[in-house]
Amino acid sequence: MYPPAQHLDTEVFARLPEALYLTHQSSSWLAARHTKMHSFLEGPAFDRAGNLWCVDLAHGRILRVNPAGEFEVVVSYEGEPNGLKIHRDGSIFVADHLHGLMLVDPLTKSITPYLQNVHREGLRGLNDLFFASNGDLYFTDQGESALENPTGRVFRLRADGQTVDLLMEGLAGPNGLVLNKAENVLYVAITYDNAIYALRLEPGGKMKKAGRFVQLSGSTAGPDGLALDESGNLAIVHAQAGTVWLFSPLGEPLYRIRSCTGMRTTNVAFGGSDGRTLYITEAEQGAILMARLPQPGRLMYSHTG
């Protein structure tokens, strides 16, 4: 249907050092998967100082990687952190599957609950999050949803910190999410449908007429993290396929970015001095990869104002 996507190579920016491996330590997340892993990197996001924050989903750790590629464990707790985004004021918001929306103070190196219930109902298991330019926070509540159990939801927490809107429910694994440049379409990765949905937003913020934007194929999982560049192109991580796709605003495949290490690519963030470097978390090897792209990433809420 379209010309083949051009291939882009990656290289390793940083690896989790063996001193931080927790290979023989279990957790509820690992026990549910009947496996052992030294780490599972997810949720990359840059702060204003150029540090790359990410999480270790397998062992409940919040990590900071400095520009030299050196890892630091900022917080370790009994949780399942997945998505991570940084507020304009520097605070770190974390989507935790067990505890809901959490808040990390980078100065005190502490983590506290921020939002655990919506409309008097407990959250089912948060996955990822994204700040709009006005401070509204969009997040996916994946729980244990899948094709046979389409109970996943997408919410928006208004910038007032109190008002929560349910945008869509009945989803099979809502995961990564990002707004388009006009902020009138919310792209959501639906892992177990192997697709990206486009949730169209009315001027008042209500969602109306969601549709399937991109239908992927292959991999043993589906789409995970998302990011947007300045031209409106959408970066889509294809989990367990060792791949990040870049699609045009019309849904045309432009580039395929291949992992130079393992196959468990999970999430992405734009960074670098010119914003044109795409950083990719790869969970199998505990690595952060990087690739140079033609366009810089869209400026995140953490870097505005």
Instruction: Look at residue 220 and tell me whether its pLDDT is greater than 80.
Output: yes
Confidence of residue 174 (pLDDT cuts 50, 70, 90): very high
What single-letter amino acid sits at 226?
Answer: L
Instruction: Look at residue 50 and tell me whether its pLDDT is greater than 90.
Output: yes
Once rounded to an integer, what is the mean pLDDT over residues 175-182?
98
Once rounded to an integer, what is the mean pLDDT over residues 168-180?
98
- pLDDT attached to residue 250: 97
Once rounded to an integer, what is the mean pLDDT over residues 223-247?
98
- pLDDT attached to residue 3: 86
Provide the 10 A C-beta neighbour count for residue 149.
12
- pLDDT attached to residue 2: 82
- pLDDT attached to residue 292: 98
Distance CA 226, CA 236 (A): 5
Cβ burial of 207 (10 Å; 0-12, 13-18, 19+) is middle
- Mean pLDDT over all residues of the chain? 97
- pLDDT attached to residue 305: 83
Distance CA 228, CA 234 (A): 5
pLDDT, one tens digit per residue, over 140-167 is: 999 999 999 999 999 999 999 999 999 9
Residue partners of 152: CB distance under 8 A and separation at least 6: 124, 140, 141, 142, 143, 145, 169, 170, 171, 172, 173, 174, 190
- pLDDT attached to residue 132: 98
Confidence of residue 115 (pLDDT cuts 50, 70, 90): very high
Once rounded to an integer, what is the mean pLDDT over residues 59-75?
98
Q: Which two tokens stand for residue 175?
A: 């995961």
Percent of the chain predicted with pLDDT > 90: 95
Complete DSSP assignment for 19-74: GG--TT---HHHHHTT---S--EEEEEE-TTSPEEEEETTTTEEEEE-TT--EEEE
Confidence of residue 119 (pLDDT cuts 50, 70, 90): confident
Which residue from 268, 188, 260, 190 is spatially nearest to 222, judged by alpha carbons? 190
